[in-house]
Structure 1
Amino acid sequence: MFKKIQTSVGEVLDFPPDVVGEGPKITIIGRREIMVENYISIINFSEEEIRIETAEGDIYFRGKGLMLRVILSSELQIEGELSSFSFGGGEIK
């Protein structure tokens, strides 16, 4: 019931998807800290790559010394030296 109301209000007021809780919200501070909100699951992780599933597809973070610092049900904090990230394989630098 609440999800239905939340979606309807978001559509009526034309809120972006991250505000109504559907799409991921990614905050990158420098090249050392990444916060991801509204993720579904962690698909795999290593010191070189972390792959996260979201409602809008997979997100890949690549770098050196990557580690998951905070893992909550709706939020992740990644630290390490970020070199690139991509959505579903198409790289953004």
Structure 2
Amino acid sequence: MGWRDFQRKVKRQFSEAMELPGDVVLNLPKIIMIGNIQLFIENHRGIIEYTTEGVRVSVGEGEVAVVGENLMLRNILPDELCVEGKIRSLSFL
């Protein structure tokens, strides 16, 4: 187990012991998907790529990739964004 894994494990245990949300303590994205037409990503680090067919968003330790049709970014805030359109897939890179 590396140092980074150890830190994550300690933070997870702390989060569980203090009953704090893991997305806040562990710096994880919170993703809410409504059907295949709307996707909210909280706790993001910025937009990497945006086209009407794909959106890549930086999160904690990687990226979230959304692929679809007629994708549009809505409600772009420093810690939250919304992707709307026909969502075909969601993946973590």
TM-score using structure 2 length? 0.78
Separation of aligned partners in 2, 1:29 and 1:50: 17
The alignment covers a number of residue pairs equal to 82
Deviation at 1:75, TM superposition (A): 0.2
Contact 1:21 1:38 in 2 (8 A): no
Out of 33, 38, 42, the position equivalent to 2:47 is 42
Separation of aligned partners in 1, 2:86 and 2:26: 28
Deviation at 1:69, TM superposition (A): 1.0
Unaligned runs of 5+ in 1: 1-6, 89-93
Instruction: Work out the percentage of aligned pairs sharing the same amino acid.
Output: 40
Contact 1:24 1:56 in 2 (8 A): no
Runs of 4+ off more than 4 Å:
none
Residue number in structure 2 paired with 1:87: 92
Task: Check if 1:72 corresponds to 2:77.
Answer: yes
TM-score using structure 1 length? 0.78
Unaligned runs of 5+ in 2: 1-10
